Each structure stands twice: as C-alpha cells, then as structure tokens.
Amino acid sequence: MLDFFKEVNLTCSNCGREIKENEPFTVTLKLPSKKKMPVGVLDKVLVKHAEKILCTQCQSVCV
C-alpha cells in the first residue's frame, strides 16, 4: 500500500469526534511562510498543520 493514500481522520480537538465526509467543520490555521507552504491532500495537511479543529457542535458551544 502506498502511504500517500492512507486514510487520515480529522478529529475534533474539543470532543474528539471524527469529522465525517461532507461535514462542515472549523479549523484554525496559522499561515505558514511561503517557503514552508504545505502542499498535499487537504485532510493530511490539516491534521499536520491545524492549530485546532472544531466540529459544528463544539463550534456552536465555543462561539
């Protein structure tokens, strides 16, 4: 198996629930420098670089 296609699960930083396909979510990102701009599959990039991932439920509680 190619590692590139391995599934990565996005989970909510607050409740730990998995973000499912087609589910909206909120992510807090720091803008990386242009030299370090992440490139790749979106969920992998997010898992690696996100400061915080919130599912819709937790978002409505936190805001």
Q: Smallest distance, Å, CB 31 to Zn ion? A: 24
Amino acid present at 54? L
The pair phi, psi for residue 53, each rounded to 5°, is -125, 125
Three-state DSSP at 25 gives strand
Please report whether residue 42 would count as binding Zn ion according to CB under 5 A: no
Please report whether residue 46 would count as binding Zn ion according to CB under 5 A: no
Let me know: does 37 contact 1? Beta carbons within 8 Å: no
The stretch among 3-11, 27-35, 36-44, 49-57 that binds Zn ion (CB under 5 A) is 49-57
Return the residue of 14, 26, 47, 49 that touches Zn ion, per CB under 5 A: 14
